[in-house]
């Protein structure tokens, strides 16, 4: 187990290192940020001075070493545009993205599991078939276009819900959250629904397949034979058992929900990390781009590592296959 753990950790560090090199060298190949930051009437000495103060006059490998040394101590550079540490900028935006992603996941479960169970209990009925058709549509619809259509219908035509920003927020432990105020909830509704759409389709499929499988199991037969009411069998026995894979998959999907939030945040002007990265790419704010990519890569590596370790604890076969 220890050998496996060490090998797995080393691999994670290697991936992180390769990614940092790739991202750093790549990002520094695009454009010259000085041209954007500086007053167009500035003379050569002024440009040179800015270049030196930003550390852009050093050779690339020196810049990378400086970056790496700072990164290890938690400093990912200062934003060119805002002159604040890039990492601070990202952590400031992170609660908004997490709030959106978690709300979307819950929405997917709350709507998707009942629909999927209905489809699983009567797979050949008209309702079951239309739920499945809906879930195929949910997989096919491009997220950004659905977002636009949601704005079109609910914000422009009907005027029920706002389409931009977070609305009124309330802070707990120094972090701002929208879901605690009515206005915030109204702002949260459309973006969360938009982001939830894919999870919803996924949950419907998982819970339908799970329900169909569970209904054939011995424990359901036994519960029937015991004379339990159909409702109790479905809501207690079947429900509990189908939730295991759903929770696992959605937990794993949380990372990709955060990544896909980039699209939703751009459409709904939700001030999260995703909008920050798109804005920073357009602004050529290199330290923020690099910091965002490093943080999100780091997040994924940690999530993947935890999942792998958890699996190897739960299933000894995984460990044995790795040890060979």
Partner 1 sequence: MTTAIETGQTPEVAAPQAGATPLGRFVSDFCESRVAVGALAMLLLIALIAIFAPWIAPQDPYDLRQLDVMNGRLPPMAQGMDGQTFWLGTDAQGRDMLSGIMYGLRTSLSVGIGASFTALMIGMAAGLLAAYFGGFVDTLIMRIVDIQLSFPSILTALILLAVLGQGIDKIILALIAVQWAYYARTVRGTALVERRKEYIEAAQCLALSHRRVVFKHLLPNCLPPLIVVNTVLVASAIALEATLSFLGLGLPITKPSLGLLIANGFAYMLSGKYWISFFPGVALLITIVCINLVGDQLRDVLNPRLQK
Phi, psi of 100 (to 5 degrees): -65, -45
63 binds partner 1 (CB under 8 A): no
Closer residue to partner 1 in complex, CB, 50/150: 150
136 binds partner 1 (CB under 8 A): yes
Nearby residues of 161 by Cβ (< 8 Å), 6 or more positions away: 154, 155, 186, 187, 189, 190
Nearest approach, Cβ of 162 to partner 1 (angstroms)?
A: 11
Nearest approach, Cβ of 4 to partner 1 (angstroms)?
A: 15
Closer residue to partner 1 in complex, CB, 3/229: 3
Residues 77-106 that bind partner 1 (CB under 8 A): none
User: For residues 86 and 54, is the Cβ–Cβ distance under 8 A?
Assistant: no
Helices 273-283 and 86-121: crossing angle in degrees, nearest 10, is 130
Nearest approach, Cβ of 259 to partner 1 (angstroms)?
A: 4
Residues 242-261 that bind partner 1 (CB under 8 A): 255-256, 259-260
Residues 143-182 that bind partner 1 (CB under 8 A): 143-145, 148-149, 151-152, 155-157, 163
DSSP 3-state assignment of 78? strand
Burial of residue 17, with CB atoms counted within 10 A of its CB: 0-12 exposed, 13-18 middle, 19 or more buried: exposed
Cα dihedral angle (212, 217, 220, 226), rounded to 10 degrees?
A: 150
Where does this chain bind partner 1 (CB under 8 A)? 11, 15, 19, 22-23, 26-27, 29-31, 136-137, 139-145, 148-149, 151-152, 155-157, 163, 255-256, 259-260, 262-263, 266-267, 277-278, 281-282, 289, 293, 296-297, 300, 304
């Amino acid at each position: 187990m220890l050998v496996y753990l060490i090998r797995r950790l080393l691999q994670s560090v290697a991936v992180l290192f390769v990614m940092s090199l790739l991202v750093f060298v790549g990002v520094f190949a695009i454009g010259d940020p000085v041209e954007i930051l500086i007053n167009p009437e500035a003379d050569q000495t002024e440009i040179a001075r800015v270049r030196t103060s930003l550390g852009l006059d050093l050779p690339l490998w020196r810049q990378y070493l400086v970056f790496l040394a700072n990164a290890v101590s938690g400093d990912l550079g200062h934003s060119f545009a805002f002159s604040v540490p890039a990492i601070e900028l990202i952590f400031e935006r992170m609660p908004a993205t997490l709030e959106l992603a978690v709300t979307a996941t819950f929405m997917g479960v709350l709507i998707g599991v009942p629909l999927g169970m209905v489809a699983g209990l009567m797979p050949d009925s008209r309702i079951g078939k239309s739920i499945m058709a809906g879930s195929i549509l949910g997989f096919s619809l491009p997220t950004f276009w659905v977002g636009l259509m949601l704005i079109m219908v609910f914000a422009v035509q009907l005027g029920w819900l706002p389409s931009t920003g977070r609305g009124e927020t309330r802070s707990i432990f120094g972090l701002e959250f929208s879901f605690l105020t009515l206005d915030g909830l109204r702002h949260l509704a459309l973006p969360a629904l938009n982001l939830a759409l894919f999870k919803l389709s996924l949950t419907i499929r998982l819970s339908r397949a799970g329900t169909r499988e569970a209904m054939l199991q011995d424990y359901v037969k036994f519960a029937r034979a015991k004379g339990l009411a159909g409702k109790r069998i479905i809501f207690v026995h079947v429900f509990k058992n189908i939730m295991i894979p759903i929770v696992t998959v959605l937990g794993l999907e949380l990372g990709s929900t955060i990544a896909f939030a980039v699209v939703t945040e751009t459409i709904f002007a939700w001030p999260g990390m995703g909008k920050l990265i798109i804005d920073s790419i357009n602004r050529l704010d290199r330290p923020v781009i690099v910091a965002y990519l490093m943080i999100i890569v780091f997040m994924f590596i940690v999530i993947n590592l935890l999942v792998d370790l958890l699996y190897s604890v739960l299933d000894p076969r995984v460990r044995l296959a790795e040890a060979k």
